Structure 1
Amino acid sequence: MAADTAERESAACDVAHGIVAEQPPERTLVAVFATPVAGFLLRYGADLGYHPVLVDPSGTEPAAVRDMPELDATTDVVVTDHHRAELGEVLKAALAWPARWIGVLGNPRHEGPHVAALTALGVAESDIARVHRPVGLNIGSRAPAEIAIATLAGLIAERNGRPGGFAF
C-alpha cells in the first residue's frame, strides 16, 4: 500500500515538474447559457483537457449550439444561469443522456428553481436527484472567474473521488 502511494506521488511530481507530459482523460465540458461564468469555465476547462461546448438555446452567442448535444459518461454539464425560462427544458434534455455529472449554479440556501421546473415537465424524482446544486468548492467565490475555478476544482475532485477542500 505504501509503495502504491509513493508511486502515485512520484508520478504527480513528475507531471508537476514537466518531466512527464500529463495525458488527461478525454472529456467534455458543456456550459449552458452564455454568461460570464460560462466563458471562464470553457476557457479554463480547455486548459484542463476538456473539450469545451457552449449550449445556449437563445442562439445569441455565435460559438453556441442551440440544442443539447449527445452527452456520454465523459461529459460534465454546468448550467450557469438558474433564472432562464429554458432551465427545465435544457436540464431535461441533459438528463436524457448518461452524462457523468450535471449541476446548476445557485445559492445553496434556497431550493433550486430547477426542481420545480423539472417536476412541472414530469421528470422523475430520481432524475431530478442527479442534478447537483450547489456546484464547486466553497471558496467564497464572488467574481465569475472565481466561480469558474471553484466549479472546475469541484468537478476535478469529484472525478478523482476526492472530497475537495484541504482534506487529504
Structure 2
Amino acid sequence: MTVEPDACAVAHGAADVGADEKTLVAVFASPVASYLLSYAADLGYHTVLYEPDAARATDVRTACDIRTTIPPLDHTADVVVTDHHRTELGPVLKDALTAGDARWVGVLGNPRHEGPHVSALTALGLPSNEIARVHRPVGLNIGSRRPAEIAIAVLAGLLADRNGKPGGFEFA
C-alpha cells in the first residue's frame, strides 16, 4: 500500500511527492505551443517541440528539445497538436500514432465539428481504431479563449487523465 504524503505538507513544499517520468510533445510551433511547453516544464515534463518546418520552430519562445521529425514515443509521452489547420496534419498525426507507444494523442479544435484529422488520417489509410485514439477536444472546458488559458486547460486535462480523475470541481 502506498502512503500518500499529507496534502498540506505537499502544498507548503515540505513533502517529497516523488518524480514521475512524463514527456510532452507539442506539435507545430504556435502561441499555444509556447505556453504549453513553458508550463509543462514547470510541471516536471520533459518538453519537446515537433515542428516539421525548421524555419517555424523559432516561433516558440521557451527552452525545449526541438525536432523536425517525430521523436521516439513511449508510455510517458503525451502528444498535443496545437494547430489543426496545417497541411501536414495527417502525416504528423500518423507519425505520432505509429512512432512508438504514446500514452495520449490529441488535437486542439472546436468540438462542435468533426476534426480535420479524421479525413486526413483516413486518406492515409489508418484504420478507424487508430484514428479513434486521437482525442478531440483536449483539455478541461474552462471557456479558454487566449493561448495561455488554452495551455492551462490542456495541461489540467492531461494531469487529471494521468491521475485517473475527471477534472473540474468534483472531488472523489
Shorter-chain TM range is over 0.9
% of aligned pairs identical?
66
From 19, 41, 49, the counterpart of 1:46: 41
Q: Distance in 1 between matches of 2:168 and 2:82?
A: 22
Structure 1 runs (4+) deviating above 6 angstroms are none
Tell me, yes or no, if the aligned pair for 1:45 and 1:52 is still in contact at 8 Å: yes
Q: Measure how far apart 1:23 and its partner are.
A: 2.5
1:122-141 matched pairs, under 5 angstroms: 122-141=125-144
1:83 aligned counterpart, secondary structure? coil
Mapped pair 1:70 → 2:65: no
Q: Distance in 2 between matches of 1:35 and 1:110?
A: 21
From 150, 162, 167, the counterpart of 2:165: 162
TM-score, normalising length: structure 1: 0.92
Q: Measure how far apart 1:17 and its partner are.
A: 1.1
The Cα RMSD (Å) is 1.5
1:17-166 matched pairs, under 5 angstroms: 17-60=12-55, 61-62=57-58, 64-96=66-98, 97-166=100-169
1:64 aligned counterpart, secondary structure? strand
Tell me, yes or no, if the aligned pair for 1:24 and 1:48 is still in contact at 8 Å: no
Listed one character per residue, the Cα deviations across residues 87-126 of structure 1 (whole Å, up to 9, x for unaligned) are 0001000101210000000000000000000000000100
Q: Measure how far apart 1:12 and its partner are.
A: 2.7
Structure 2: state its 5+ residue gaps.
59-64
Q: Measure how far apart 1:84 and its partner are.
A: 0.3
Q: Distance in 2 between matches of 1:87 and 1:102?
A: 13
Aligned residues: 163
Q: Distance in 2 between matches of 1:12 and 1:58?
A: 44
Q: Measure how far apart 1:13 and its partner are.
A: 2.3
Q: Distance in 2 between matches of 1:166 and 1:150?
A: 14
TM-score, normalising length: structure 2: 0.90
Q: Measure how far apart 1:21 and its partner are.
A: 3.2
